Amino acid sequence: MTPTVAAKDTPNSSSALDTAKQLLLSSYGLTTNTLDRVLGDMLGHSLDFADLYFQYQRTESWSLEEGTVKSGSFNIEQGVGVRGITGERTAFAYSDDISVKALREAAATVRSIAAQGQERRVKLARRNILTPLYSDADPLPSLRDEEKVALLERVEQMARKEDSRVVQAMASLAAVWDVVLVARSDGVLAADVRPLVRLSLTVILEDGGQREQGHAGGGGRSDYSRFTDEVLADYARRAVHQASVNLVAKPAPAGTMTVVLGNGWPGILLHEAIGHGLEGDFNRKGSSAFAGRIGERVAAKGVTVVDDGTLPGRRGSLTVDDEGNPTQCTTLIDDGILVGYMQDEHNAGLMGVPTTGNGRRESFAHLPMPRMTNTIMRAGDKSPEEILASVKNGLYAVNFGGGQVDITSGKFVFSAAEAYLIENGKVTTPVKGAMLIGNGPDVLTRVKMIGNDLELDTGVGTCGKDGQSVPVGVGQPTLRIDGLTVGGTGA
């Protein structure tokens, strides 16, 4: 059944809860009293906790290659996930049919993990209204279709003007308008309206028969107006620069050496190699390299790592998480000392600690779990020039491609998309094929200098965990790390 109220008809001044009630309850003949009864019936079966997660999502994507629209898509999804928890056991059911019948059937499935108990009543109450971290406006109609195509054409043309060696340019544009409503057995009723846009550009340069790729892009929780000509020109410069550098790059050397990580997107190494190991479920189960180490020194002095879901408009930010809890800035490592983990409701309860607002799920068809939002290393007091000048011989990794990490051991492998040699304190020859190999907890102890140039990524991160993907952000200043293993093909 399609909601009777289109998202574009929702006034900008309406609260997230009003929007969510209209789209996800009223449009299907549901009321908060209906949710009260369903939750109360579930609690009558000796469950410790239960919640209902309603979602309505509209998405679109466009891609352009060589000035021609290669693909375009538009999709609407809606549904409800029903969860019940007793002790460490969780039962979950979901339906893409939002109706009283579907709710009752899903709730009956979930109740099966608990025995019949005394009837309990639930009275839902609006969670305290929070200041939204982003507009509730739907980004999809913020440009006409022809304007979206023209935007992609513009960024392609900018890339070609940057360098005559560009032989291929591909651009894509995507937007999401996500409305969620959470009703919980402890009486919490919360909602969020989440816009999200992203633009990606890939270029291929050719010179003397050799070809190299470059990538750039960005986005955040806004509409398409963020992609001004100035922003597009920056993406074009970045993508072309990366490809042109790799055209003249030499094979990267291999061995143990000092590595300087650039600021911004290189924080993806921090996210993967360290961040996942600080999520509550891995630590409750004892499978993280950081399990049981609260209060211990796990990093060099000066290293402070936070997960901050409260940054306005950022890709990884949420006004409330997918369990209806406000996000927060959670300090994980403070001056080298491990002080906390990221928690959702279930893991926090089992560990006897407060939730940190990090309960996230890909959609109504998935269970929430502790996940990162925007994971950041705080700035230090060294200038990037001072850090580079301190290195006699080493590698300067400015940008990263893909990588892999083992959560249990913390071991990781990351490929550098743009890197240079450092010789006698100077950035010299560009190199390609560099692989950074190490162990997350160990790397933290090898941080020797921390830059004063903290920067967040441009808004391109997507994190995968247990088959679920969610948008995230990363950030860090320039870092000097000693004794890191570099895999390469050069001498």
**C-alpha distance across the termini of the chain, in Å:** 63
291 pLDDT tier (thresholds 50, 70, 90): very high
Which of 380, 376, 382 is CA-nearest to residue 302? Answer: 380
- Helix axes of 229-247 and 145-162: crossing angle, nearest 10 degrees: 40
Q: What is the mean pLDDT of residues 28-42?
A: 94
More confident residue, 178 or 13: 178
Burial 38-55 (b: 16+ CB within 10 A, else e): bbbbbbbbbbebbbbbbb
CB-CB neighbours of 101 under 10 Å: 9
Q: What is the pLDDT of residues 65-77, one digit of tens each?
A: 988 888 899 999 9
CB-CB neighbours of 167 under 10 Å: 13
Q: What is the mean pLDDT of residues 277-295?
A: 93
Q: What is the mean pLDDT of residues 344-358?
A: 96
pLDDT at 133: 96
46 pLDDT tier (thresholds 50, 70, 90): confident
Q: Cα-flanking dihedrals φ and ψ of residue 404, to 5°?
A: -135, 150
CB-CB neighbours of 1 under 10 Å: 11
pLDDT at 402: 74
By the 8 A CB rule, do 182 and 190 touch? yes
Going 110 to 114 to 115 to 119, the CA torsion angle's sign is negative
Residue 3 has pLDDT above 50, yes or no: no
More confident residue, 297 or 5: 297
pLDDT at 394: 97
CB-CB neighbours of 225 under 10 Å: 11
Q: Which helix (H) or strand (E) holds 235?
A: helix 229-247
Q: For the whole model, what pTM was predicted?
A: 0.93
Distance, in Å, from the CA atom of 353 to the CA atom of 341, rounded to the nearest integer, reads 10
pLDDT at 118: 52
Residue 10 has pLDDT above 60, yes or no: no
Q: What is the mean pLDDT of residues 338-356?
A: 96
Instruction: Give the position of tokens 């050719």.
Output: 206
- Three-state SS across 256-318? EEEEEECCCCCHHHHHHHHHHHHEHHHHHCCCCCCCCCCCCECCCCCCCEEEECCCCCCCCCC
Query: What residues contact residue 477 under an 8 Å CB cut-off, 6+ apart?
Result: 263, 377, 378, 379, 380, 384, 450, 451, 452, 453, 454, 455
pLDDT at 213: 95
pLDDT at 126: 67
Which of 424, 367, 452, 465 is CA-nearest to residue 85? Answer: 367
Distance, in Å, from the CA atom of 442 to the CA atom of 237, rounded to the nearest integer, reads 35
Weakest mean pLDDT among 127-136, 223-232, 237-246, 291-300: 127-136
* Six token digits for residue 44: 């009558």
Cross-strand pairs, 345: none
pLDDT at 13: 34
127 pLDDT tier (thresholds 50, 70, 90): low
Q: What is the pLDDT of residues 147-200, one digit of tens each?
A: 999 999 999 999 999 999 999 999 999 999 999 999 999 999 999 999 999 999
Q: Is 263 exposed, middle or buried (0-12, 13-18, 19+ CB in 10 A)?
A: buried
Q: What is the pLDDT of residues 48-104, one digit of tens each?
A: 999 999 999 999 999 999 888 888 999 999 999 999 999 999 999 999 999 999 999
361 pLDDT tier (thresholds 50, 70, 90): very high
491 pLDDT tier (thresholds 50, 70, 90): low
